[in-house]
Amino acid sequence: MIAIVDYGMGNIHSVQKALERMGGSTKIVNKPAEISRAGKLVLPGVGAFDDAMSELEKQGLIPAIKEFINSGKPFLGICLGMQLLFEKSQEAKRSKGLDIFKGEVKLFQPAKGLKVPHMGWNQLKIKTNCILLKDIPDNSYVYFCHSYYPAPEDKEVIAATCDYGEEFAAVLCKGNVYATQFHPEKSQSVGLSIIKNFVNTC
């Protein structure tokens, strides 16, 4: 069973529909015990870093998410759910992140007439053979909507990048932990293929 964490921030139903369309058996969860029983876990998210961490803490989900990741079972963070995996964010005024990845989430600096947030379709530059990106062609278009981007200290965890005035990490892979800055559930056939890889092979 693939558990989708519901902490009040995120388009969980579109994520759920995409996972089920690709053959996944899903359950929306908001209790620690439900997370621990899952076979795979998805942390989606739309909104602000501080608010997200506050809600996760309020519901007692932070230890359960960390324990799940440490168990070695497959985990996928999407958009804000990716950013929460880091130590800290420039967006945050009070909260630290989950500290799964060392590094910081940074604000885009407007350049060359580019607007913030980075919103719309952009191309992936694939860097490694991450199983999440199996059979995904280089330069595939995926859908982004974000003002902040993750900057991991360990560049080896970056599986794909994207360019928006500067190169930034778009996909992370480390062991059983996978994360996308874009929304695979909104990225049409490419995104569904990525979700299928998580359902079937990760």
CA angle 52, 57, 58 (to 5 degrees): 95
Cis, peptide link before residue 117, omega less than 30° from 0:
yes
How far apart CA 32 and CA 20 sit, in angstroms, is 23
- Model pLDDT, residue 201: 86
- Model pLDDT, residue 134: 97
Summarised one tens digit per residue, pLDDT across range 164-190 is 989 999 999 999 999 999 999 999 999
- Model pLDDT, residue 169: 98
Report pTM: 0.96
Domains of the chain: 2-200 (3.40.50.880)
Q: Where are the alpha helices (DSSP H) in 59-187?
A: 62-71, 80-83
**Active site members:** 79, 183, 185
Terminal Cα distance for the chain, rounded: 13
Residue spans of the chain under pLDDT 70: none
